[in-house]
Structures are given as structure tokens and as C-alpha cells.
Amino acid sequence: MKFPWMGHHYVLGGPSSGWDMAEARVRKRKPVRHKQMRDVERDLGETMGLEVDMSSGFIELAHFDGRDILILNREIVAMKMEVTGSNKWVPTLRGIMLWGPERSWAAVDKGAIPFLMNGADCMGAGIHIADPSIDPGGFVWIRDQESGTPLASGVAIVDGEEMMHMTKGKAISTIHWIGDELWNIEA
């Protein structure tokens, strides 16, 4: 695509852009029975602090961008990632919206939202309140402090108490956010 007012020729979405359409696909998709998912439900329940029941839905396991994912009724609701030293199932943002957990969250002000929507790590100065039970290396989801809407998720760099008192530095390493490839993929 050519932008004449800039005097440059740009290729959008080509090999140099870092995003390849062929790679942005859900792969190795296979349906599974509910009884095979009991360990997954347990992992998700421990992470979110609530009981997860997927028995009434159509469940599939798949692979996306080097990561195992769980699809429930054609929505990507969980992914496998390293949390506190082991691979565990954690909810995606769609899973958080579905199950509404009240644990492992950090609330940010409006000033942090544009940065999070671009995939930036969450800085401690933007966090106003957080679940004090968050441990370093643990899963955490980030929400808007006013509406409670999930914005991103990641791995805690510091504990929940420290997040609330930070004035500088990174508090959460962002893994998934609204608008990223995992969010936009059609399941």
C-alpha cells in the first residue's frame, strides 16, 4: 500500500509485519468429553476461587500460537500457561467474563487503559487496588476500577499488597489483552 503524502511504500500485513495470517489459526482442534476435563476444571477453580462446571457445554481442546487452549461453546475460555512454577489452566478474558471470578484481580485507573490495550505490561503506579492474596509468579487479571470490566491478564511480578503501594516499576507482565490475536481469533 502506498501513502503518497509520506513518500514511502509500506506493506501492511506482509512478512515484515510480524503477523502472519497462516499462523493466526486455531490448530489441532478436537472435541473432548466432560469427564476428561475434571483436572482442567480444578485448575480453573483454584485460580479463580470458584467452582467451574463445563458439563453443559461443547468442549474442545486446541492449540494456538504455541499454547494449548480450551474452547467452550465456540468461545476460547482458558489457556495453559506457566503459573507459580508449573503449567496450569487459567481463564482467558472471555472466560473471566463468563465465570466472573472475585479473586486474583488488580484494578487500574483510566490512565493505564490505553497502554494495556496495546499489550504493555501493567505498571504499579496505575494499580489502585488489588487482591491481597496475589503472589509473585501467580495469575492475575486486570480490570477497570470504575466498571470492573476485564482488560488484560498476566503474571504478577510482585504480590498484591505491594502492587497497591507501588509508585514506579512493573507490577504485572501482560500475557493477554482485549484486542490481541487470541481475543480476535474466531473459534
Q: What is the tens place of the pLDDT at every residue in 75-125?
A: 999 999 988 778 899 999 999 999 999 899 999 999 999 999 999 999 999
The range of the structural domain enclosing residue 156 comes to: 102-184
Q: What is the dihedral of CA 59, 184, 100, 157, to 10 degrees?
A: 110
CB atoms within 10 A of CB 125: 15
> Which segments of 73-113 are extended strands (E)?
75-83, 86-91, 105-108
Q: Is residue 16 part of a domain?
A: no
Q: How many domains does the chain have?
A: 2
More confident of the two residues 107 and 25:
107
Continuous H helices in the chain:
38-48, 93-99, 113-116, 160-165, 181-184
Which residues, in sequence order, are CB contacts of 109 under 8 Å at separation 6+? 126, 128, 145
Q: Are residues 83 and 145 in the same domain?
A: no
Q: What is the structure's pLDDT at 94?
A: 96
Is 142 found in the same domain as 80?
no
| pLDDT classification of 4: cutoffs 50, 70, 90 | very low
Q: Are residues 108 and 89 in the same domain?
A: no
Predicted TM-score (pTM) of this structure: 0.81
